A and B are shown apart, each in its own frame.
Chain A
Amino acid sequence: MNTDIYQPGKDDINDGLSTIERTVLSDYKYGFVTDIEADEAPMGLNEDTIRFISAKKNEPQWMLDWRLKAFAYWLKIAKEEPVWANIKFPAINYQDIIYYSAPKQKIAIDSLDQIDPELRKTFEKLGISLDEQKRLSGVAVDAVIDSVSIGTSFKAQLAELGIIFCSMSEAIQEHPALIQQYLSSVVPVTDNFYAALNAAVFSDGSFCYIPAGVRCPMELSTYFRINAENTGQFERTLIVAEAGSYVSYLEGCTAPMRDENQLHAAVVELVAMENAEIKYSTVQNWYPGDKQGKGGIYNFVTKRGICKGNNSKISWTQVETGSAITWKYPSVILKGDNSTGEFYSIAVTNNHQQADTGTKMMHIGKNTKSRIVSKGISAGVSNNSYRGLVQVGKNAANARNFSQCDSLLLGDKCGAHTFPYIEVKNNTAVVEHEATTSKIGEDQIFYCNQRGIDTETAVALIINGFAKEVMNQLPMEFAVEAQKLLAISLEGSVG
């Protein structure tokens, strides 16, 4: 198969997706580039870069100070980049990255109609509609391309309920008190290498605030797209659910195909108060690199939620099919009594992809529960690791955990690994762990063939059966997309 990297040109948007597909002959159909003028920081990372970003976003002084402090800390630990994960990659040159790139917009956006038509087309191609049309399926959408949020639909309707759903940049200006109260309250600047970097250079992301007792009436979603070359994307998302509230949030991610690796180091923080529930779903399809393992996104993400109040609940659902390397552990701190944390994950690796992903469930309050269902699918020559921590603190009476880690291997050149860590300091805890490993080999495919099912359909059937329990957790609108995505990402992996 021809794996030439697509070269962007002026006529591409008008030619439409089929031309690009023909030109590129690749399975990654989001690999196109949007030809649009961008506003960029000079390459490299120093204090000036931080000031540049902050100035571009018109941030108040306290935000700039916060960033600079984070940057000073990162410089201190810059030599201690973590290397313990079960992944291999060449050292990242942090000076070789552009830390800010925003599509140039001619005018400030009051309505979605004013968004640059090229950008609108991009999102349409990706199947993301910024229109009020989305109302029919009841999904509010924020769109972030490179370092900026493009627009958020339904803001007015949500505002009537007291719900804030806007870009992080906007939140810093419009809701400083909330930001100051909650930003980095779950993932401190000093948490890890990439969190520190993110705190210094974070670009944009989403901010959601659900007031007490309010059940958010629609799915909130943000769509992240990396477009410009040589940039890193460092988004920052914060969701706060006050007592008795509910919100379901979904993020989707794609990026163009490029030869070089691009770094995506995001931080997501969730805060759930008493009796509140936050459901956070991710369908990640960053460019995974070509069949030889060249290019692709490095997806190094810190996601953490705190069940602060009693009876609160946070669930993470992720379908990770892209990225050259995925390194993330969406976690839940179960501080409130009777709180619940859930983690449902499908991680797919094909060709040369690598994944080291899992979760940390920290049981602190009484009668806390956690549930982990992790499905890893490996194909090609890829490597897929689950790493999970179930921690039960000294005073965490009656903690309950159930973990199930299943690996599915397609062919015999890929790898699946499981690293479960269980630390229990209270003897009333019940912790269960189950793990299975299975393989789809030629025999199973032939069995399906002999029953009239062709190989491609057979693989899709098998994968969907395997991944069903996790797929069922996704909001319905996205479950269908995710299923298609699974099938596409595993095309050609068997037979």
Chain B
Amino acid sequence: MTNTIGEIEQAQVILVSGSNTTRTHPQVARRIYNAVDAGARLIVIDPRATKIARHAHIHLQIRPGTDIALLNGIMRCILDENLIDDLFIEMRTENFLALRDMLLGINLADIESITGVAREKIALAARTYAQARRAVICYCLGVTQHTCGTANVESYANLAMLTGHVEQEFTGVDPLRGQYNVQGACDMGALPAVLPGYQAVSDATVRRKFGRAWGCELPQKPGRTLLDMTHGALRAGLPGEENAPLAAMYIMGENPMLSDPTLGRVRTTLESLDFLVVSDIFLSETARLAHVVLPAACYAEKTGTVTNSERRVQYFRKAVEPPGEARPDSWIIRELAARMGHPMPYASEAEIMEEICLLTPVYGGMYHDRLAAGHGLQWPCPDRDHPGTPFLHKYSFTRGRGRFEPQRHVEPAEPPDEEFPFTLITGRSYYQYHTGTMSRRSPLLEREYHCPRLNMHPGDADRLGLREGETVRVVSRRGQVTFTLHRTDEAKPGRVSCDFHFRESPANMLTTAANDPVARCPEYKCCAVKVEACHE
């Protein structure tokens, strides 16, 4: 997030896109409610009529995967009504002319037919967003989990820069992160092409710096992306080639056997490995395939930091001892490293953090003693005296000038057709978390939501003769899964949705492996399926 979560309360316009906020980020939704009570306007872009969409002043119920077209429409309206921020564009950005030329070339009637949203509604949203002094964009996986995910995000950045809604407090672009430390994992270099603090692997100076600290030479080549690894066996080259299939994997706290798309491929890949190690707190579906399972400590059983959506690094203390043989992941990694001939002699977690401060400029002042003294610090925090940074891009962007990246609409990889007439959107529910490794072990949560549901418009259900609560089979080109039918007007006819928490109804058997060319994020939010009654 370029903002602090609390800033949302002061915004005049909040644009929420691809986020089931009340369900997946209740603490953010709470701020949105407060802002709306104080008079803010709420615009929601979502193919589903989620709860937050029902609270919206303007709900743009787009066809799945048409964000770029919609945003181009919005920006064209802003341009036509001359609501752009000339000064901001002049002083802080580049490549505006390319965006302008592209926008002038589009036809709003086309936008209307691509997105399925009325032109007047698009214009109203454009006016509302552009005219506000303090406007915030919150987006989530509905934006990123598409084959055009990167281009989608760039389009939202274009919109914010076009109207100058970035550099000040209460304005910005806020991706809502899903796990309590997913931001921290990215910050610490759990991405293929960067080392901690988003320092590029390809940069020789950076490699030298880390190499000196770690006493080794670092590889120049970026690592593989998630799908390259978990779908590796089917897409890689021959042994010996550059993209040869992996021989071994070490998976920590991740359950690709439920969470990655096209599960059939994941299974083939993991089963083809010579050696699979999984460390997790419970025996997950993935851990069941492992040759060695390492029992890990959970969050309450270790000391360290987590970084949340608003870039806030927070210290947490061990509350209880890990049960049995379980150990913190950092301990496991150090033991493995030592046995592989590379000892990591850290005396404490604080000492590991000191090394992070030394090597990662944005974390430069994040020492444990400072973090423990309060509710944490927001990066960038370059040194011990720095108070942290509540909102980003105040005087300049990280790369200097913000660059407009004009984008054009890209059709989803698998549009519905005669054989597979429905578009399936996968998502998350309130009571279960991700692949349910933890939440499905809580009897109360399990009681509240244990029945994998397929949400379908009553009109479609009538046409297919399907009753509420009936077992239905959902079939895609990759597999089939059974669900309990739930009739709801949440989605428009022709679209169905489900959650992916359930091992007994693994939605990712159905999803496509098509992915974004840059981020390699799979298109979870859009695949073609057919639905049929299940007579057993």
Tell me whether A and B are bound partners: no
Interface positions of A (Cβ within 8 A of B):
none
